[in-house]
Structure 1
């Protein structure tokens, strides 16, 4: 291997080996073998198998959180941003299931094993929603509500459209019509 070993190159290799062997069978030795290095070289970047798995999970979840943050911060009304944000979250999760079901199944197992990482992810998402709600209240678009509590309720009310436990439903029906009906109801309840 001519390229210097980096955390990113290790994470790339870890994703490939997770896809190939699944999370239950993937080892640090497998990742090192894919890179053509010793497992000790991987451990210099990630002190344990758990640390490597958490980093892979964080990276995967950041691919969802990042684009949603851009929606939360863009111009437009709070109603437009809230609708776009929740629709994008549902579409991103649905895409992960439909585009690569084997990899998604592996990440579902990985998510179970890295619950703290998933909890951080959910907190970040709810925080983005709270920012949208807070902006809507400040602009007089939404009635006076507690942004944090309302954001958590919005997240929970739409869980069917974005939580991996509901993936089997996404395979049967796209859910856009049902999601739009739920969003219309939620937004009607928020409007000032």
Structure 2
């Protein structure tokens, strides 16, 4: 086999390509190794099996998927506008990925059914982003919450229905997102403002 400079990033890139080519059910480590022109044992030096590799590729994919939310956190805007933008971004990111990158989305769904480790990390990250904005809103006097953590968890849970594939084809989806986000923002508003 040809010598290739192998690292985790190269393996993850190849794994995404293989998943997109064969789908998450048929793709395997041997396919990844063949695409890199290395032995499958070379892959095991970096990842101790298919589950670890698929978890890593899904985690990286989700990180890229949610990268725009980092920009939202940096926006110079009031917390209520920022939270509205973030929640809409969360809802649309998964729907658009299901349309634009169906194989990787299918891999994410499969992982969500089989391994909660990556999914729990993503949920925690989403709640942390929401909490940062809620804390900003409390500081600005826009929001009131006895516990920013509990408020963030409640907001996440209330909007998580929109990241589920069953909601993607709902003809009232955009209206429903708007209604839920507006309700949540009204619930967080400081009653003294």
Deviations 1:108-162 (A, max 9, x none): 1123233111101100110110111011011111124311100010011112212
What's 1:180 paired with?
178
Structure 2 portions without partners, runs of 5+: none
Q: How do 1:72-87 and structure 2 match up within 5 A? A: 72-87=73-88
- The number of residue pairs the alignment matches comes to 189
Counterpart-to-counterpart distance in 2, 1:181 and 1:30: 45
Structure 2 contact 66–93 (Cα < 8 Å) conserved: no
Normalising by structure 2, report the TM-score: 0.89
- Give the match's secondary structure for 2:168: helix
- Of 130-139 and 17-26, deviating more is 17-26
- Give the match's secondary structure for 1:85: helix
Runs of 4+ in 1 over 6 A off after TM superposition: none
What's 2:29 paired with?
28
Deviations 1:164-184 (A, max 9, x none): 3xx133124262222111111
- Give the match's secondary structure for 1:45: coil
Structure 1 contact 137–145 (Cα < 8 Å) conserved: no
Normalising by structure 1, report the TM-score: 0.90
- Of 77-86 and 106-115, deviating more is 106-115
Counterpart-to-counterpart distance in 2, 1:55 and 1:109: 14
Structure 1 portions without partners, runs of 5+: none
RMSD (Å) for aligned C-alpha atoms:
1.8
The alpha carbon displacement at 1:25 in A equals 2.7
Structure 1 contact 98–171 (Cα < 8 Å) conserved: no
Structure 1 contact 161–179 (Cα < 8 Å) conserved: yes
Structure 2 contact 12–56 (Cα < 8 Å) conserved: yes
Q: CA distance change for structure 1 residues 17 and 187 in 2, over 3 Å: closer, same or farther?
A: same
